[in-house]
Amino acid sequence: NAGVTQTPKFRVLKTGQSMTLLCAQDMNHEYMYWYRQDPGMGLRLIHYSVGEGTTAKGEVPDGYNVSRLKKQNFLLGLESAAPSQTSVYFCASSYLRASGRLSSYEQYFGPGTRLTVT
Amino acid sequence: QKEVEQDPGPLSVPEGAIVSLNCTYSNSAFQYFMWYRQYSRKGPELLMYTYSSGNKEDGRFTAQVDKSSKYISLFIRDSQPSDSATYLCAMSVAGANNLFFGTGTRLTVIP
C-alpha cells in the first residue's frame, strides 16, 4: 500500500495564479483532511471531508476550495494564489472503526506539498 | 490563547539522555492525546496515543496525561540520533473529526 500520496511535491506560483493539489489514499479511509504547516503556527486544518461527496470548513478555509468526488481522492484548490498561502500543505486520512466510534486520532499523513507564491 | 501550547525549542541533548517533551491545553473536553513525530521534510507520523489520564509505555517512549493540570508529556529514554525530529502533540474531543496540534518541539540528539 502506498498510504497517502500527494501531487505535486513542489510548486511555485505567481500571485493570482490557480492550482489544484491532489491527495490520494489507498486505505479505504472515510475521512480526509487538508492542513497547512507554517513556522511557529503548527498544523492548521483548512478543510476536511467525512465521506465521498462531503466537505466541511476547518480553521483556516478562506482562499481555498475542496472537492471529494471519489472516496480515495481529496482535491485542494487555490483559485487566486496569494503570498500568504506560501506554506507546506499536508493531506491526511483517518478511518471509522467498525464499532462506529470515530478513531479521529489515527490520522495518516502524506509527504506534503511545498508551495511558494511569489 | 491557543488551545494547545508547546515549547518550540529547539532542544539539543547528548545521545543516551532522557528527553522530556511537554504540552499544555485549555479545553477540558479533550480526551484523546497523541504524539506525532515529524522528520525533516516529511509528513507527521503517529508515535503514541493515550485516552484520558494515565501513562502509556512503548519501548523507549512513555506518554503521560494529567487531565487535572491539563498537561501532557512524552519521555524518551536512552535517546538516539535517529530520534532527532520535530515532535508534535495533538489532542481531540471524543468523536470529533479534527485534531488540535501544538506547534512542535524540534529535538536534536547529538552522537
- Residue A55 and residue A15: Cα distance in Å, rounded? 26
In percent, the amount of chain B with pLDDT more than 70 equals: 97
Taking Cα atoms as reference points, which of B38, B49, B42 lies closest to residue B86? B38
Q: Which residue of A has its CA nearest to B101?
A: A43
pLDDT value for B51: 80
Q: Which three-class secondary structure state does DSSP give residue A95? A: coil
For residues B92 and B26, the answer to whether their CB atoms sit within 8 Å is: no
Query: Which residues in chain B have Cβ-Cβ distances shorter than 8 Å to A102?
Result: 95-97
For chain A, the average pLDDT equals 91
For residue A1, the model assigns a pLDDT of 72
- B101 in contact with A, Cβ within 8 Å: yes
A109–B45 CB contact, under 8 Å: yes
> How far apart are the C-alpha atoms of A88 and A75, rounded to whole Å?
15
**Interval B4-22 mean pLDDT:** 94
CA-nearest of A30, A41, A50 to A88 is A41
* pLDDT number for residue B59: 96
User: A27-31, A112-116, B23-27, B97-101: which has the minimum mean pLDDT?
Assistant: B97-101
Q: Which pLDDT tens digit goes with each residue over A69-85?
A: 999 999 999 999 999 99
- Helical (H) or strand (E) element with B45: strand B45-51
> Over the Cα atoms of chain B, what is R_g?
13
Residue B50's pLDDT band, with cuts at 50, 70 and 90, is: confident
Note the Cα B87 to chain centre separation in Å: 6
User: Distance between CA atoms of B60 and B77, rounded to whole angstroms?
Assistant: 5
pLDDT band at B54 (very low <50, low <70, confident <90, very high): confident
A18-69: pLDDT as tens digits: 999 999 999 999 899 999 999 888 899 999 999 999 999 999 999 999 999 9
